[in-house]
A and B are shown apart, each in its own frame.
Chain A
Amino acid sequence: MQNERRSKYTNIVFIIIVLISIVVLFLRATPYVSLVKNFVYYLAYPSVDATRQILTVTGSFADSIKSYTALHQENLKYRRLNQELSDRLRYYNAMKTEYDNLIALLQIPKIEYKDTVFARISAREPSQWYQWFIIDKGSAEGLRNDLPVLMLGKNGGLNAVGVIVETYQHSSKIALITNLLSVVPVEIKGKNINCLAEGTNSSTLKITYIPLNADIAKGDEVVASRLSSVFDEGTLIGVIENVSNKPSVDFKDATAKITFDSSVVDMAIILVPRKEAK
């Protein structure tokens, strides 16, 4: 009877021990045990070797702790950055509100907010070099007809190149300001002389309707006037190269050299007014 009871008790103990062992096996606790063991070694005999073992022998567990620490540090860094950017955004919004209020009070024209779209020239025929080209951005990128096309000039500013005349989903056709059909209302910078810049299918523009008594000289900059419906006022169009001396009744002509480098143009910039500015 006693043997039977003992045998039963043995079986229960055996099953419990086996279950515990299986659970421990499936917990895959080796790295944790190694860590504790090495830490105990370190406490008993703190040496460089023991420290190295804590950090290296524990394998993936130590790696996890290290990556967790690195992640935590990175998280803290981005939190700080986020806070800084949030502060800046709040400051910007406050400034914008103040600006809008001042604009309303002083009744002055509001600056349009514009998005910049960079496009690559995908097609340009040599026979129509100064007339058209195709860019690789279209309506899918927010472009539409009559938007101005610019490029960076040697002076670092934006120079007028042309206008979008046809828009497709992922391409647009640009009519250059040098196109024979192009006419841009311009003015001589700093002299308040309004005239027109007409394309000639070449690298020069014909500046027409210049008043006879206007003081124009070689080197004067030609910029878009406020009458232009495409280009912003002051956008550089060209530089006066030659003033015609032909006798005329009311007006005289001049030629202007375009300011964008037509031979190397490969990247166009399109300024798209934001919806909120409308």
Chain B
Amino acid sequence: MRKALYCVFIFLIIIICQFVLGRYLSIFGGFPNLILITIVFLSMTKGRLEAVVAGFLFGIIWDVFSVDIFGMRMLLFPVIGYAVGLLGRNFDKDQLYTQAFIIFIANLIFLLGQALIYSSFYSENIHIFSAIFNLRNLFCLVLTVIFAIPSFLLLSIADNYFSKKRH
């Protein structure tokens, strides 16, 4: 019951922060990808299964809220969760620079995947590299990496709080 409550709480908080605060508190037109941070966090701390399921649910929500290709994030987030779960075994997860690096790699995978899906579905006039490495996306990537460290901290606190209550 506590675990379910924790999941719902985290899910709602992240959704509200990403879609409500992101609209009003954007930083120079950009906003960190909190959903990606959460998936990476879940993958590193809870396991691949939780990350894949959470990625799928977050992906559905984001795809519904966005106006582009439905199913794109539904595919990318579970893949990132799974990939980070596999890669994360070889890294020291508690180190800040490791977390930042993994977030950076995950974000690159996300952008690359988006570009590939875009180029597959809208073949006309889509240049993959310009779609990935535009200024806005790079700025969001930097923001995500910067925000990853405090976000990890907050998520860890919440996780510990609910874990303690359970015992």
Instruction: Give me the interface of A with B, judged by CB distance under 8 Å.
Output: 6-7, 9-10, 13-14, 17-18, 20-22, 24-25, 27-30, 33-34, 37, 57
Contacts and interface: CB of A to CB of B under 8 A. Distances in A.
24 contacts: A6-B47, A6-B49, A7-B48, A10-B49, A10-B52, A13-B53, A14-B48, A14-B78, A14-B82, A17-B52, A17-B53, A17-B56, A21-B59, A21-B78, A22-B75, A25-B69, A25-B72, A25-B74, A25-B117, A25-B121, A27-B71, A30-B67, A33-B63, A33-B70
A29 B47 CA distance: 31
Given A21-B75, A25-B72, A57-B67, 10 more contacts: A6-B49, A10-B47, A10-B52, A14-B78, A17-B78, A21-B71, A25-B71, A25-B74, A30-B67, A37-B64
Interface in B23-50: 47-49
Could you say which of B52, B53, B117, B121 has the most chain A C-beta atoms within 10 Å of its C-beta? B52
Interface in B52-103: 52-53, 56, 59, 63-64, 67-72, 74-75, 78-79, 82, 85
A148 to B, nearest CB: 64
A24 B56 CA distance: 12
A25 B75 contact: yes
A9 B50 CA distance: 11
Contacts, number: 62
A99 to B, nearest CB: 66
Given A21-B59, A24-B74, A33-B63, A13 B49 contact: yes
> What 9 pairs between A and B have smallest CB-CB spacing?
A21-B75, A24-B71, A25-B71, A10-B49, A30-B70, A21-B74, A33-B70, A17-B78, A10-B48
A22 B120 CA distance: 12
Contacts of B78: 14, 17-18, 21
| Contact residues on B (Cβ < 8 Å of other chain), bracket | 20 to 34
A24 B59 CA distance: 12
Nearest to B63: A33
Given A10-B47, A29-B70, A30-B70, A18 B79 contact: yes
Given A33-B63, A34-B67, A18 B75 contact: yes
Contacts of A34: 67
Nearest to B56: A17
B34 to A, nearest CB: 21
Interface of B: 47-49, 52-53, 56, 59, 63-64, 67-72, 74-75, 78-79, 82, 85, 117, 121
B25 to A, nearest CB: 23
Contacts of A14: 48, 52, 78, 82
B40 to A, nearest CB: 16
Given A6-B49, A10-B48, A21 B64 contact: no
A114 B20 CA distance: 79
Contacts of B56: 17, 20-21
A193 B75 CA distance: 99
A22 B74 CA distance: 9
Could you say which of A10, A17, A29 has the most chain B C-beta atoms within 10 Å of its C-beta? A17
Contacts of A25: 69-72, 74-75, 117, 121
Contacts of B72: 25
A20 to B, nearest CB: 8
Contacts of A17: 52-53, 56, 78
B45 to A, nearest CB: 15
Contacts of A27: 71
Contacts of B53: 13, 17
A41 to B, nearest CB: 11
A9 B70 contact: no
A24 B76 CA distance: 13
Contacts of A7: 48
Contacts of B75: 18, 21-22, 24-25
